[in-house]
Structure 1
């Protein structure tokens, strides 16, 4: 698992915070200095926090659990979509549907509605509808696809949330906190890190900054998924090796019994001869 160096983070602009007057005092431990009225983030702490978050997300991915990526700001939308799709993880890049986590069964019903429309299209039912009904259903399908298409495979609550800009996605963070779901987040100097379990202090407004952090995190998760696949392949092979050994051990027990049988017969014959001699 490779983590970005200080120079790489500096080049990506991860150190730029917000104006001093917009800062959140809770971010003081992650601020290195102030220059020209702008706070500068300590990149050594950023590098350490990225490594910590990547290791935790790798273990989550290795265990086969899902991580939901959330970023609805323009700079992060495409980056989130590309990186999350590459590791087959769900993501939200449009408006956050209120109650998506706390009212998850209702969200699942909407996803099933989308699947039922697809089924209608495949079995020919859609073709028998009137032109107006087709238009209404098509619009409904497009709306559902836009907001929920990226989480269609999310059949249960995610095991963690990765958020870009906790200030903008405060509703998502609040729902995760209410359900006890761990939150990983890029946190800028104007945000409150107290509700985040794994804080990554970094510039959350620049696309390059977002990309370098997500690239590190998703690469670690990809490694975790590869290790999971390797373990699944090795498990049947190990079972296959144990089975012949057990069978071989069984044959040895049968052979011992076969060897002991003649010895028992000889002992019985000797006892009979001794009884006849005494008589």
Structure 2
């Protein structure tokens, strides 16, 4: 268990170094770095390329627009930290800059792909108060055979897991928040668990590791993100199985 945690920590460190290259797939391979004894335990080939799994091409500006990802809340509810991700406003509502959203979304998919490639545990979460979002989150996890949590969050689930569940409990290696804010975001930050979150214009993105600015309320937007996450995971798992068979 201790060895597994050390390996995943080394993986997270390496992913953070390469995530900047993932947003610009046309730049080619990322600069090679000297591998430590811990990182040598992994197959580092995916981390040396900007888009080893081909997930960058899954994100298209037109798809984001059709899914209404660009539509935010009223101007008066805009969180100051979300101002850099705004394109402007229309009829009193905030409008996201989809170029920025697409870039950050590609970066997040790159991180997700590398975690899944190394058998990392992925947990999908959504606020229990949003019924349609909760159902979409569960279906997303089922499609890619990962885990989901859509009920009320019990305080200390991550930070006090040893007492709640026992010493052998393995925490997720990546949490994906389909809706924000969520009580588990702060616990992820405290436990050094990387997080990906869809952040609307009225939400504070501070404690989310890889935030994706966009609409997290409309059914079309939620279904788009869920489909994109599940397709990415299934694509990586299929590629990994093909590599094993060869």
Fold-level similarity (TM above 0.5): yes
**How far did 1:230 drift?**
2.6
SS in 1 for 2:189: helix
**How far did 1:155 drift?**
4.9
Counterpart residue number, 2:175: 161
Deviates more, 1:222-231 or 1:16-25: 222-231
Counterpart residue number, 2:135: 78
Runs of 5+ unmatched residues, structure 2: 1-54
Do the aligned partners of 1:50 and 1:217 also contact (CA within 8 Å) in 2?
no
Structure whose CA Rg is larger: 1
| Separation (CA, whole Å) in 2 of partners of 1:81 and 1:206 | 17
Do the aligned partners of 1:186 and 1:199 also contact (CA within 8 Å) in 2?
yes
SS in 2 for 1:194: coil
Higher helix share: 1
1:88 matched to 2:145? The reply is: yes
Counterpart residue number, 2:230: 218
| TM-score computed with the length of structure 1 as normaliser | 0.64
Query: What do you get for the CA RMSD once the two structures are aligned?
Result: 1.7
**How far did 1:85 drift?**
1.1
| Separation (CA, whole Å) in 2 of partners of 1:22 and 1:161 | 26
SS in 1 for 2:89: strand
Count of aligned positions: 188
Tell which has more relative contact order, 1 or 2 (C-alpha 8 A, sep 6+): 1
Counterpart residue number, 2:95: 40
Runs of 4+ in 1 over 4 A off after TM superposition: none
Do the aligned partners of 2:198 and 2:211 also contact (CA within 8 Å) in 1?
yes
1:97 matched to 2:109? The reply is: no
**How far did 1:232 drift?**
3.0
| Separation (CA, whole Å) in 2 of partners of 1:25 and 1:180 | 25
1:51 matched to 2:63? The reply is: no
Runs of 5+ unmatched residues, structure 1: 110-153, 235-279
SS in 1 for 2:212: strand
Do the aligned partners of 1:58 and 1:222 also contact (CA within 8 Å) in 2?
no
